[in-house]
Amino acid sequence: MAIQELHQNEKYSILLLCQIAKVSRSAYYKWLKRTPSTNEKLNEEIVEEVKQLHEELGGIYGYRRMTLKINRRFKQPINHKRVYRLMKLFGIQSVIRRKRTRYKPSSPKHITENVLNREFHAKKPNEKWLTDVTELSYGRSEKAYLSAILDLYDGSIVSYVLGTSNNNPLVFKTFEQALKREPGATPLLHSDRGYQYTSPYFKKKLEEAKVVQSMSRVGRCIDNGPMESFWGTLKCEKYYLKKYKTYEELEKEIKEYIYFYNNERLQKRLNGLSPLEYRAEAV
């Protein structure tokens, strides 16, 4: 199958490909004329589906997430090892690359203990929220800042705000949007010790909303691990894949990605559902 594919698409000679694969030309032509087995036909269908999804999603899915998507389109379950083998055979791989997170120290005015204490499992929606701000670039070294709140129950992004200043209003607006979207929610809210979160004004907002505050220890990014993981996913699957000329272009791409992440990005830990599909089942 690989010889046929490379010959048709890349115009390599049959002789060369047979030599590389260490099979005789007569064996190849005999294989070509045979009637494909049910298993081979299924492999061909899987490969075509993988190629289409790879193109549609901009190449951001690896074999695990690709398997979840494939299993939604086929009547019989497809093993992840099979998808991995076929993707490797046809040179289909994720375009994702990783970038290390850098910790920026701050001088806190109001701090609280690490109530969350890395207990990242939540039994119900709006029980535990995480929040943080990450820096993005566009144009000629222009900076933008993305603030978001993540629900640990399903990993969904409850609210987010993109702005050109990393300041109190950015964080306050994110929190207000979350309360507006989830009225009556009184979660534990965990953050790092950034100056916005240690602000007495933010503390007052939390108290008024009856929200319990929790903060990471100094230099312990893992205390806010799932939030850091989301930033890494967003940057690898969207942000790092292109350059953004304007703030509006960056804003549009971030909006599209978070919609995709919440509504369409399937996760194995959520039983193969997207965050909001999983959340809907709980409701």
Q: How far apart are CA 127 and CA 279, in angstroms?
A: 13
How deeply is 243 buried, as exposed, middle or buried, from its count of CB atoms within 10 A (0-12, 13-18, 19+)? exposed
Q: Is 138 helix (H, G, I), strand (E, B) or coil?
A: strand
Query: What are the residues facing 160 on neighbouring strands?
Result: 148
Three-class secondary structure of residue 129 per DSSP: strand
Residue pLDDT, tens place only, 102-133:
545 445 556 789 999 999 999 999 999 999 99
Q: What is the pLDDT of residues 136-181, one digit of tens each?
A: 999 988 999 999 999 999 999 999 999 999 999 999 999 999 999 9
Q: How far apart are CA 266 and CA 36, in angstroms?
A: 32
Using CA atoms, how far apart are residues 199 and 212, in angstroms rounded to an integer? 15
**What are the tens digits of pLDDT across the range 209-267?**
999 999 998 877 788 999 999 999 999 999 999 999 999 999 999 999 999 999 999 99
**Cα–chain-centroid distance for residue 127?**
22
What pLDDT is attached to residue 166? 93
Q: Strand order of the sheet with strand 142-151?
A: 157-163, 142-151, 128-138, 188-191, 212-215
Four-residue CA torsion sign, 30, 31, 33, 36? positive
- Give alpha helix (H) positions in the chain: 2-10, 14-21, 25-33, 38-56, 63-73, 80-89, 168-181, 200-208, 225-237, 247-263, 275-282
Q: Is a pLDDT exceeding 90 seen at residue 26?
A: no
Q: Give me the pLDDT at residue 97, please.
A: 58
pLDDT per position as a tens digit, 63-93: 888 999 888 888 788 989 989 888 887 778 8
Rounded to an integer, the average pLDDT of 48-76 is 87
Q: Indicate whether 61 pLDDT > 60.
A: yes
The contacts found for 23-29 with CB under 8 angstroms, 24 or more apart, are 28/3
